[in-house]
Amino acid sequence: MNIQLVETMTAGSKRDFFVFPCRFMDRKNRLVEVRPYREDDYESVVDMYDRFEPKGIAQGLPPPEREVRLKWIENSMKSGWHMVILVEGTMAGNAVMYPMRDRERAEWGIFIHQDFQEAGIGAILAQLARPWAASLGFRKLWLVVERFKEYSIRVYTRAGFTLKSFDDMEADMEMEISGDVSDLVNNRIEPPSPAEFNQMVGREVPLPDVTGCDSVFIHTEFVKEGPSWLECPLIALRSELPYTVCRNRELLNIPGVKLFTAPEVSFRLASFIHDAEYLRNLYMAGLGVSLKGMERHGFDPLLEPALSGAAKFSMMNIGATLLGARLLAETDIKTVFNPCGGYHHVLRDSSLDGCYVNDVLFAIHYLVNAGMKVFFLDLDTDRSDVLRSEFSNNEHVASLSFFEVLCGRVSQFNREIDGRQYYHGNDRHIEVPVPAYTDDRGYMALFDRNVVPMLNDFAPDVLLVQMGLETLGICQASNIMITKPGYGNMIQKLSRIAPKILAFGGSGQKRRSLRPAWPIAWAALISRHYF
């Protein structure tokens, strides 16, 4: 092997990667740390392989004879890049990456001691193979696995490897490393300019054929790639439940309605709104691992292991919302519903309450860049501070948000905001306090007094509406007591007065409220009866 390459690999094995060191909890709730190999790890690695059984299991490795095994360990540690796997401080295995002759590919492999197998450790390590290879500049990863190891093949497939060839004994698998992931991991992401942003959306979010329809339901068909034991119940709930209930209610296969699948956008497009450092940490959290300092971005997989898949799901959230924006801006579609969108509270560098990207900001920027006036209506029970701050000086954007206040504080709050709780036609961003225990009649009175005149005066081209599950009494997320029929009537009224509407499901987290609420809203948007 080339001497210069050996020196480069040796230096690489000692460098600090963005990916490592990292930590995660295995399936047996043990703390696992993965970090670069150090010289003082040698004795522990030797001891681990001495106790490794059965020896010679992977293409004759680790060698059964101790002298041959020591030579193999010594030579192996002098080339390639090595990570050690510690479970509760005990040496449990190691992962290795060797460059191949073409320099664009690397061979990847892991050895996990039998005492620590069947705990999901290998599945997480397989997920980490992609960013690890990207950090080293490789474009492809290659591995070989015995044909009879069906479980291992499934794990590698879920991590992104594909089967390339096989014979009676072994299978070759390969993984492509995208330039987008490589740029993200190596901190080379350059956010697009406002002019470039709309062009990127045009490339990454293609327009489907909408012939013969005026309403679109966008389904975020999320196929998880990570370990099954880290399945995120919230992601599954948001992506599948609204679609399943609407389909079972026969609200999708009707004239004038089309169903489209959410596209997945690149991290570079996402960096138009979100900090690259935040996206890098979201990506790693989505693989199920925790990095030092990750908690300042609002998530920590050690405390919230169900973050697995969050990054991929979030890029699909953005894609779904931008698809809706494109449909409204460039076709005759009047109504678009994205149940997995509307996360307008998320900051540029921090998540909030299980929401990881601010897809609403993407849609508004796209529509405004396309020359449209946009009105954002938040029917939830919280303020829209992030949106108001982003567009405070933009005359093409207006917003109104309802939020809950305790009954005893309403009069005090009214004095504090100097009457801005009622629309006067002289302010583009309004917040309307809603007293606790407000029912259908009271909420509709506030709606008619504020939303209707503001929409008429501002005259938007597109209405974006976060449909406010927290206002439903069955949701139990607030003290607002709107009934299901009252909720449907309100959404139906919006659909009549809005020129075009992009509706979001928001961040509902309870199956009890999700099951009826989003299908009720969709039925109201397309003038169908749900009850």
Nearest residue to 421 via CA among 408, 438, 435: 435
Q: Which residues contact 196 (CB under 8 A, 6 or more apart)?
A: none
348, 273 Cβ separation under 8 angstroms? yes
pLDDT for res 232: 63
CB 106 within 8 A of CB 12: no
- In 380-448, which ranges are E strands? 397-405, 429-435
Extended beta strands in 302-382, E state = 335-338, 374-378
The residue whose two tokens read 């690999």 is 9
pLDDT of residue 484: 86
pTM of the complete model: 0.90
- Determine how β-strand 22-25 pairs with β-strand 31-36: antiparallel
Q: Is the peptide bond before 64 cis (omega within 30 degrees of 0)?
A: no
For the segment 340-393, what is each residue's pLDDT rounded down to a tens digit?
Answer: 899 888 999 998 877 899 999 999 999 999 999 999 999 877 777 888 889 989
Sorted by where each starts, the structural domains of the chain and their CATH numbers stand as 3-183 (3.40.630.30), 189-525 (3.40.800.20)
Residue 61 has a pLDDT of 79
Q: Please report, to the nearest 10 degrees, the dihedral formed by the alpha carbons of residues 160, 129, 303, 188 taken in order.
A: -100
Burial of 339 (0-12, 13-18, 19+ CB in 10 A): buried
**Cα separation, 433 vs 479, whole angstroms:** 13
**Helix, strand and coil in the chain, % to nearest 5:** 40, 20, 40
pLDDT of 474 > 70? The answer is no
Return the amino acid letter for 155. V
Asked whether 144 and 172 are in contact (CB, 8 A), the reply is yes
Q: Which residues contact 478 (CB under 8 A, 6 or more apart)?
A: 381, 404, 436, 470, 471
| pLDDT tens column, 217-235 | 999 987 666 565 566 656 7
Question: pLDDT tens for residues 130-181?
Answer: 999 999 999 999 999 988 888 899 999 989 999 998 887 889 999 999 999 9
Q: What is the DSSP letter of 53?
A: S
Question: What is the maximum span of the chain, computed from C-alpha positions, in angstroms?
Answer: 86
Average pLDDT over residues 83-109: 93
- pLDDT, tens digit (0-9, with 9 covering 90-100), for 303-315: 665 577 889 989 9
